[in-house]
């Protein structure tokens, strides 16, 4: 679905801090939403905690920098980071170009998604949340 | 406080990502900081800088007044000439930096930072009494744009009646712009050749003239690839050029000597506010100095307030930092101990949990033979 210019894929879960989660078995791929990348604009540097790091839901898992700003990224799930998107080191602009595709940030081995899930939005809820933010 | 708007608000709101700056709702970027920055370095860009403060200073003693309140010497200015200067408090700390132009033998125009509009005006009025000069704030009846880049003259010439080729750098002149009464000054805040353009008698509630001139320049600039530019690119451009941002690189706790602005302090003048303190500092020697930094490794960009280290000793701090769209790496302006202000030296910038190598550079941070107003054509 969409809200204004912002793409919100139906099959993902979303956080209040504008991260997304795609479930793939016991793992999840996470990234920042189309709304987030459009607010940041021109991403020039991405940093994610090292592979092997254990992250708790809503704990800092990295930073995304645009030309003039630095934003923290909070993990939308609890688990262990098993892979970091290494392409972003040379091509941080992928976060702008394909926020839900090649611009993914990390793959996390989930430690308890049922509990994480309670604090995440569905696509429809996230669209409503964006609506309230624009008001 | 009510957020103020410029004459171009409708254009900006339609085309730009907006940001509040110094009490004004201003464009942060239109297409993006990077394409706007590159347009100015390679072609031409136009900025709305109406938010800046503008005062006219008139009277028989206007030259004497300015020479008392600012650090530079306006007696060397012929009519229709401009100069960069600062004014200081009694301690030699910088109250603001600005461009002052002599319009007539006894009439000057001063253009200062938006964030300091009230403070500067009060300071000028407070010191003007003894000289019997008139200090008139004309900020609200004038629109102001900057047209900057190697193609700025050719683009602006298409809407100007006068021959802009005769207006040399740091000179100015009256001209009609798209049929409106205007004034141009060959100055700017990007490091590039270009003009700052004034449209007179156009209050914000009667924006027609301002809108007409803005649109005419955009139209005229099309063949040169003009881009409307926001405050984002304005900041990255000035940072690369080594120009100070008030509130970041200079403020009332920093002197012009430390900021590398000694060239605007004329000690041979009989007296000016801050002279005694600055003379003392000059005799004793400054302890810190503003330098450029260029990151030597890939990673996050330096940002204000981050620490600068050398050999396990803290030697200073970043005052402005960004990703440089031209150099494609992090760049900064920083204050370091004078003994470390050595071109080519390697220092460390602490960016969050990382210690990143940077090279101490002189300004501008780009190659002046390839970019900027001194580029070889």
Q: What pLDDT, in 10s, does the model give residues B334-377?
A: 999 999 999 999 999 999 889 999 999 999 999 999 999 999 97
Q: Do B323 and A70 touch (CB under 8 A)?
A: no
B220-251 confidence digits (pLDDT tens)? 999 999 999 999 999 999 999 999 999 999 99
* pLDDT tens-place string over residues B127-156: 999 999 999 999 999 999 999 999 999 999
Q: Min CA distance, B294 vs chain A (Å)? A: 15
| pTM, rounded to two decimals | 0.96
A25 to chain B, minimum CA–CA distance in Å? Answer: 33
Choose among A98, A126, A94: nearest CA to A4: A126
Residue B1 has pLDDT above 80, yes or no: no
**pLDDT score for B153:** 98
The residue in chain B having the minimum alpha-carbon distance to the alpha carbon of residue A46 is B300
What CATH number does the domain containing A11 carry?
Answer: 2.40.50.100
Chain B CB within 8 Å of residue A1 CB: no
What kind of architecture, by CATH, is found in domain B9-50+142-238?
Answer: 2-Layer Sandwich (3.30)
The CA distance from B327 to B51, in Å, is: 29
Residues in B closer than 8 angstroms to A42, CB to CB, are 32-34
Residue B260 buriedness (CB in 10 A; 0-12 / 13-18 / 19+): buried
Question: Does domain B287-366 correspond to CATH entry 2.40.30.110?
Answer: yes
DSSP string, A79-121: EEEEEE-GGGGT-TTHHHH-TTTTT--EEEEES-HHHHHTTSB
Asked if A68 lies within 8 A of B32 by C-beta distance, the reply is no
Q: Do B301 and A42 touch (CB under 8 A)?
A: no
Q: Are strands B24-29 and B17-21 parallel, antiparallel or unpaired?
A: antiparallel
Q: What is the pLDDT, as a whole number, of residue B194?
A: 98
Rounded distance between C-alpha atoms, residue B90 and residue B276, angstroms: 8
Task: State whether residue A65 sits within 8 Å of chain B by CB.
Answer: yes
Same fold, B9-50+142-238 and B287-366: no
* Predicted ipTM of the assembly: 0.91
Per-residue pLDDT reduced to its tens digit, B319-331 = 999 999 999 999 9
> Nearest CA of chain B to the CA of A21: how many Å?
25
Quick one: tokens of A87? 């392409």
> In this structure, how many other beta carbons lie within 10 angstroms of the beta carbon of residue B217?
25
Other CB atoms within 10 Å distance of the CB of residue B364: 18
CB B227 within 8 A of CB B31: yes
Tens of pLDDT, residue by residue over B260-288, are 999 999 999 999 999 999 999 999 999 99
Can you give the pLDDT at residue A133?
86
Tell me if B140 sits within 8 A of B116, measured CB to CB.
no
Domain range for residue A31? Answer: 2-134
**In chain B, what residues touch A44 (CB-CB under 8 Å)?**
301, 323
Asked, as a colleague might, if the bond just before B52 is cis with ω within 30 of 0, I would say no
Distance from CA of A55 to the nearest CA of B (A): 17
pLDDT tens for B89-135 read: 999 999 999 999 999 999 999 999 999 999 999 999 999 999 999 99
Kindly determine whether residue B323 and residue A67, on different chains, have CB atoms separated by under 8 Å: yes
Contacts of A63 in chain B (CB under 8 A): 300, 352
Between chain A and chain B, how many beta carbons pairs sit less than 8 Å apart? Answer: 37
Q: Is the pLDDT of residue B77 over 90?
A: yes
- List the single residue in B with minimal CA-CA distance to A39: B17
Domain ranges of chain B: 9-50+142-238, 287-366
**Which residues make Cβ contacts (< 8 Å) with residue B244, sequence separation at least 6?**
B97, B250, B259, B261, B290, B333
Exposure class string for A31-44: b at 16+ Cβ within 10 A, else e: bbbbbbbeebbbbb
- What value does the mean pLDDT take over residues B254-259? 98
Facing residue for A70 by CB, picked from B33, B299, B303: B303
Task: Please count the structural domains in chain A.
Answer: 1
pLDDT in tens, chain A (135 residues): 999 999 999 999 999 999 999 999 999 999 999 999 999 999 999 999 999 999 999 999 999 999 989 999 999 999 999 999 999 999 999 999 999 999 999 999 999 999 999 999 999 999 999 999 877
């Amino acid at each position: 679905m969409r809200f204004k210019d912002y793409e919100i894929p139906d099959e993902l879960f979303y956080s209040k801090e504008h991260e997304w989660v795609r479930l793939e078995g016991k793992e999840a791929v996470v990234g920042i939403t189309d709304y987030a990348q459009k607010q940041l604009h021109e991403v020039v540097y991405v940093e994610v905690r090292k592979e092997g790091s254990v992250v708790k839901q809503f704990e800092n898992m990295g930073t995304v920098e645009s030309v003039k700003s630095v934003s923290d990224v909070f993990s939308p799930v609890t688990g262990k980071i098993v892979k970091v998107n290494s392409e972003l080191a040379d091509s941080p602009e992928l976060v702008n170009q394909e926020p839900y595709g090649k611009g993914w940030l990390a793959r996390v081995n989930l430690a308890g998604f049922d509990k994480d899930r309670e604090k995440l939005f569905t696509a429809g809820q996230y669209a409503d949340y964006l609506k309230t933010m624009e008001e | 406080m009510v957020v103020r708007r410029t004459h171009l608000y409708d254009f900006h709101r339609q085309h730009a990502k907006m940001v509040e700056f110094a009490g004004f709702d201003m464009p942060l970027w239109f297409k993006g900081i990077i394409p706007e920055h590159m347009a100015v370095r390679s072609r031409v860009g136009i900025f709305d800088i109406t938010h800046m403060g503008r005062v006219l200073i008139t009277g028989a003693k206007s030259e004497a007044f300015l020479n008392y309140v600012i650090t530079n010497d306006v007696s060397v200015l012929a009519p229709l000439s401009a100069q960069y200067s600062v004014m200081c408090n009694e301690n030699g700390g910088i109250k603001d930096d600005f461009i002052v132009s002599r319009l007539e033998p006894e009439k000057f125009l001063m253009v200062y930072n938006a964030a300091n509009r009230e403070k500067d005006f009060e300071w000028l009025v407070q010191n003007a009494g003894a000289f019997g000069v008139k200090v008139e704030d004309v900020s609200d009846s004038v629109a102001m744009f900057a047209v900057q880049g190697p193609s700025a003259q050719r683009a602006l010439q298409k809407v100007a009646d006068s021959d802009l080729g005769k207006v040399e750098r740091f000179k100015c002149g009256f001209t009609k712009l798209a049929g409106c009464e205007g004034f141009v000054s060959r100055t700017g805040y990007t490091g590039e050749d270009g003009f700052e353009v004034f449209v007179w008698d156009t209050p914000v509630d009667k924006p027609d003239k301002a809108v007409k001139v803005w649109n005419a320049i955009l139209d005229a600039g099309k063949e040169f690839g003009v881009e409307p530019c926001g405050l984002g690119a304005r900041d990255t451009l000035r940072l690369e050029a080594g120009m100070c941002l008030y509130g970041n690189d200079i403020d009332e706790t920093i002197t012009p000597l430390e900021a590398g602005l000694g060239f605007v302090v004329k000690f041979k003048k009989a007296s000016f506010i801050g002279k005694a303190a600055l003379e003392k500092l000059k005799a004793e020697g400054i302890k810190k100095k503003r330098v450029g930094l260029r990151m030597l490794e890939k990673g996050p960009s330096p940002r204000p307030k981050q620490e600068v280290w050398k050999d396990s000793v803290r030697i200073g701090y970043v005052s402005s930092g960004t990703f440089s769209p031209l150099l494609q790496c992090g760049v900064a302006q920083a204050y370091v101990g004078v003994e470390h202000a050595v071109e080519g030296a390697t220092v460390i910038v602490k960016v969050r949990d990382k210690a990143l190598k940077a090279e101490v550079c002189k300004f501008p941070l780009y190659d002046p033979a390839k970019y900027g107003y001194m580029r070889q054509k």
